A = this chain, B = another copy of it.
Amino acid sequence: MSDIEIAQRAKMQPIIQLAAEKFGIPAQDLDPYGHYKAKLSLEYVDSLSHQNSMGKLILVTAISPTPAGEGKTTTTVGLGDALNRIGKKAMICLREPSLGPCFGMKGGAAGGGYSQVVPMEDINLHFTGDFHAIGVAHNLLSAMIDNHINHGNALDIDPRRIKWKRVVDMNDRALRQITVGQGGPANGYLREDGFDIVVASEVMAILCLATNRADLKERLGRIVIGYKSDRVTPVYASDLKAQGAMAALLKDAIKPNIVQTLENNLAIVHGGPFANIAHGCNSVTATQTALRLADYAVTEAGFGADLGAEKFINIKCRAAKLSPSAVVLVATVRALKFHGGVAKDHLNQENLDALKVGFANLERHIHNVTQNYKLPCVVCLNHFTHDTDDETAMVVAKCAELGVKCVISKHWAKGGEGAEELAHSVLELIADETPKLEFLYDDKLPLRDKIETIATRLYGASGIVMSDKIEAELKELQANYGELPICMAKTQMSFSTNPATRGAPSGHTVEISGLKLENGAGFIVAIAGNMMTMPGLPKVPTAEKIDIDDNGVITGLF
């Protein structure tokens, strides 16, 4: 059965009832969206903040993934279900899926097999409208910028130095670089512009890092949309008086969403910044709420640990004073063989030699988690039907050599039951030690050194390079925003900036090709190599196969 078929057979409980049963959440603090989705009131979220007890945070991250992904969300759901099965009070925290990729190649992002959150179609299509609200808030600011210039440009915005693009929740390469304002005076001034996908919007990152409505509005006001004609004076969203209306548009989007797994356990699914261009984790509000409601909060960080976990720790944990009690590193035999040089079409055949070579990728991620962040780690080998016993045994043995436990987990096929061993291993890890999280760098470290630290200590690079122009830009940012953390934008496919370099490359050079100040989110994006903030559709997009019948049953979504 396909994921959507499994999801459509789920026996869902009314969410209001389930939230009351599982965590005693009062009905009046939940806004229902249909019968199986709800938003938590911020008053309730706030009321929780006065309690002292906090659950343990479990971070699920992964090796450098193949294009199909290695099952990070699936594992997060499976582990959450397993913890609940063995009698623990656990809450799952996920990012919301992006609409665009549903119609392209990647598909949805609500887990897979028997480890999914439901209603799957709703979560993948529109959900509770958060991303639409973010998109409109973003585009309102865009419209206000061009409108301000059109009506006399009292703020003296340099139209050539506007950094704020527009967004759409679609994979649409034709919109990456455009010219706006054509057609004469009635349509404003001509300038170059472009569209990003909504998940790449700074508004998305802001929503995910804001701790309440006041913080949200302040961050929105702090957005730097570009510079004045003196080239250096920043223009803020607050100069355009945009932050109030933007925050009003986000009035509901800021509230965390609650849904359930196939096994009727609760999951908070909220926010979803791109893990390659933004920080790639769900909202701080979601994570903190889960930690206050449950004894264990299981959350995920986008793409491989070099991207998602790095930002989870150095950006989100730093900002929100969070600290994971354990890390689950998801790997697959398939992806390890891929890193060992096997072509995509041959990943279903046993290949122990390639597996051994490709293991280097996992080893590097283990090293990063345990040595750089000083966090305890367990490897979850997400089992695929073609994996042979010799292959899985080799991964387990090689992990053991590194002093790390590797659990073969079958939650995709069996749900929570299949991840029980993983759950026990995580609990042992948490019982064994109380880790003291170390950040990779200090706030005070100069921006250039922060980037270099990430590249050398985490990516295994020998150093970083950048053009004189970028170097000068970095210097300017250092003067005014030097204490901000770095948000690396890098391919998720490799430790290097070249997606084709698999395994665990060393001694390579990381070229910084661009910088982007996200002052509202509170970080500086450093673009490593060639990164796109607007995907395209493939030759045969999934959209061609998606359908809905006369009764509203959807097919072809995966």
Tell me the A residues contacting B by CB distance below 8 Å. 31-35, 42, 99, 103, 121, 125-126, 129, 132-133, 135-136, 139-140, 142-144, 146-147, 150-152, 166, 168-183, 186-189, 192-193, 212-214, 217, 240-242, 244-245, 247-249, 251-252, 536-537, 539, 541-552, 554, 556-557
Contacts and interface: CB of A to CB of B under 8 A. Distances in A.
Most buried by B among A174, A186, A545, A546: A174
Contacts of A545: 241, 244
Nearest to A217: B548
A219 B240 CA distance: 42
A537 B143 contact: yes
A542 to B, nearest CB: 8
Contacts of A251: 121, 125, 548, 552, 554
A166 B536 CA distance: 16
Given A32-B32, A147-B536, 6 more contacts: A146-B172, A173-B188, A175-B180, A176-B186, A212-B550, A244-B548
A139 B168 contact: yes
Nearest to A539: B151
Contacts of A140: 103, 170, 543
A171 B140 CA distance: 8
Given A143-B170, A144-B541, A172-B142, A536 B179 contact: no
Contacts of A170: 136, 139-140, 142-143
11 contacts: A31-B35, A32-B35, A33-B33, A129-B132, A136-B170, A139-B168, A143-B172, A147-B541, A174-B189, A244-B547, A245-B547
A213 B552 contact: yes
Dominant secondary structure at the A interface = mixed
A546 B248 contact: yes
A166 B195 CA distance: 12
A213 B554 CA distance: 12
Given A178-B179, A548-B251, A543 B144 contact: yes
B172 A547 contact: no
A488 B177 CA distance: 35
A536 B188 CA distance: 10
Contacts of A171: 143
Contacts of A139: 168, 170, 172
A495 to B, nearest CB: 24
A173 B192 contact: no
Contacts of A169: 136
Contacts of A136: 99, 126, 132, 169-170
A214 B144 CA distance: 40
B182 A252 contact: no
B179 A182 contact: yes
A168 B135 CA distance: 10
Contact of A126 (B133, B144, B214, B245): B133
A179 to B, nearest CB: 4
B192 A182 contact: yes
A556 B241 CA distance: 13
A358 to B, nearest CB: 29
A183 B187 contact: no
B172 A183 contact: no
A183 B177 contact: yes
A485 B549 CA distance: 29
Nearest to A249: B125
Given A31-B34, A103-B245, A242-B543, A183 B176 contact: yes
Contacts of A549: 213
A537 B144 contact: yes
Contacts of A177: 181-183, 187
B554 A248 contact: yes
Contact of A187 (B147, B173, B550): B173
The 10 nearest A-B residue pairs measured at CB:
A244-B547, A177-B183, A132-B132, A146-B174, A241-B544, A245-B546, A177-B182, A245-B543, A143-B172, A147-B537
A463 to B, nearest CB: 28
A47 to B, nearest CB: 14
Nearest to A154: B539
Contacts of A182: 176-179, 192
A245 B31 contact: no
Nearest to A35: B31
Nearest to A171: B143
A404 to B, nearest CB: 40
Contacts of A192: 182
A166 B172 CA distance: 11
Given A168-B139, A178-B178, A536-B150, A550 B248 contact: no
Nearest to A543: B245
A378 to B, nearest CB: 39
B180 A187 contact: no
A551 B42 CA distance: 9
A139 B173 CA distance: 12
B143 A244 contact: no
Contacts of A135: 132
